[in-house]
Structure 1
Amino acid sequence: MKKQWVADVSLLAVAFVWGATFVVVQNAISFLPPLSFNAVRFWLAGIFLLVWACLFHRPLLRLVNQPVLIAGGWMGIWLFGGYALQTIGLLYTTSANAGFITGLSVVIVPFLAFLFLKQKPTTNAVLGAMMATVGLYFLTMNNGEWSVNRGDLFVFFCAISFAFHIVITGKYASHYPALLLTIVQIFTVAVMCSILAVLFEEPTWNHAVFARKEVWTALLVTSLFATVAAFLTQTNFQKYTTPARVALIFSMEPVFAAITAYLWANERLSTFDLIGCSSILVGMVIAELPLSLWIEKRRKNELTL
């Protein structure tokens, strides 16, 4: 129980870091194209982790084998899809919207875990996911009408990719060292972003771009904190909890994104946004309540009457 509590708090910290970086990334990609930004971000993170491993965990590197490369590569593919689609979506939608729509992974994960890991969703997870869905619906309301722009659509597919990443991480995290899995998946993302950036984006590699405070600050924050620290934490602690629980904890990410967008980018939340945010929080509370245990206890009490 203590390990699960520590895991939950650690993953909540990860959700905060990810939520707080939406505004930072959105500012940076106005100067550096999204795939190029992610390529530099993940190369920096991968190199940092590799140097760290060589200095302090060299014996661990001897454990690198084909199964580790396959597991980390598979995780990296879904991670790439999530970040690529999310960063492109930020070109066309707000930080708050991107954060909340990314939270759709909360709804998707329990069903993916059931399909691929045969983990039946708990009553708590289903009710919490339903409440989060209601909240996400209100967050896509525009003047009382439901509407989705191009950026929202990109981020929706990003949510699907992140949901797969959570499930795949849950499958492999307990079988292989967290550091090795993190290094492999990060380099996988770096390589894939680099290839697609060369193929589909105009080259913007010049000193003027990287000299801008918005760009180098975003690269440092996202590579060291939102990538290295965050994915080491997720890969290490997810083994002590379930994919559905991780997804519900990560549903706090859009709440943190909205708060930081309000504080740093002056993005205002409408009435519908506030309702949606509140619904997600209620969904989190419902998911954490021991509802299934309460129902079982009540049934036992009825049988004894």
Structure 2
Amino acid sequence: MDRVIVVLCEGQHDIAFVSRVLKAHHFVPYNKKVKDFHKPLGKLFENILKQKDIADKKLGFQSDYKLPSVALDNGNSLILFHNMGGDERQDERAEVLDMYRMLSGNDDFSNLDFIFRFITLFDADDLGISHRLTHLTQELGLNSVLSQGQIFYDGQFEYGAYIFHSGEEVGTLEDVLLDMIEKSEEEIINNSEDFIQSNLIDAARTREYVCTPASKKYKGSGKFKHKKSKLSIAGQLQFSGMNNSVFIANTDFLTYEELTTNVHCVDIVGLFQ
């Protein structure tokens, strides 16, 4: 194995999509038990798991962001995907990066036979690709601004990033997915859009509704995301009751041709070569 590629993602949708792309390019699931992971990673993850005390957690707690949620392998590279739970988790991203970077400086792990590559995935949103890359470069403390889809080597570690966008500088992963799916399923996507337009409700009602004897009110911010809903409506035709990450990971709406030739997919794969 030549390198371990650590991927920091906003959420599980990113992981589902990029995993899907990589599986179309000869990567396969790395399904070994934690104790059998490539050294020294197995020991690292075992120590994290030993520190977890279920009694200290609330019911419904999510998996620790320090543990990868998906692992892929192609013989030369092991890819570890971390679900960071949002794009504002700078402290948590630093914690995960330091966790891996410290391995190379530990006497117990002085004979590493691979190099670490760190890749960050973001939506451009309304901020734009350039803003995201500049901010990420500063966050990582690099002396050269990261370029979209390119690898930067600082003399010890490799770094890269991909910012999901539409045809312009702005956009999200959903823009990429809808563009790909519309190539083969235009009618379904159009009908999903029609359903949304015919059933839009007041924005206030897209917030969480608390209904108890003591309180009957809406709280928090609105949860409706137009493009996510469009994908979800289409996805329910195949995977009833399942979320968008399941749809993205398994749908035949994303064809092999698109996964191997779409410009976004080609650029993403380049980060893992």
TM-score range (shorter-chain normalised) is under 0.3
* Greater percentage in helix: 1
TM-score normalised by L of structure 1: 0.21
* Greater percentage in strand: 2
TM-score normalised by L of structure 2: 0.23
More contact order relative to length (CA 8 Å, sep ≥ 6): 1
